[in-house]
Amino acid sequence: MPHRDQEITMLRRELEILMAERQTLLRVVGATAALIACLDSKRLPVGAIESADLVATTINSLPEETLQDALKAVRAEIESEDSDHDN
């Protein structure tokens, strides 16, 4: 039984690590989506257009629920920064 408890503990730790990594990735994707949405593609250098298109295409291929989670993950941070600038 102790071996099984060790396995459960290890799996629990691994799951916690994966969930923390998911949150970080959601914040990255959300911030990137917000950045891409604000860009004016007519003003970007040619080299940047290809990269922005790749990022936008990749973000658009995410499931809707994942994209919503990503936007929610950064919305509070963006709103917090906006309110800090108002003071």
What is the four-CA torsion angle of 4, 6, 12, 14, rounded to 10 degrees? -120
pLDDT value of residue 24: 95
Give pTM, 2 decimals.
Answer: 0.74
More confident residue, 34 or 8: 8
| Residues whose CB falls within 8 Å of the CB of residue 55, separated by 6 or more in sequence, listed in order | 32, 36
On the question of pLDDT at 56 being above 60, the answer is yes
pLDDT value of residue 76: 54
What are the tens digits of pLDDT across the range 10-38? Answer: 999 999 999 999 999 999 999 999 888 88
Rg of the Cα atoms in the chain = 19
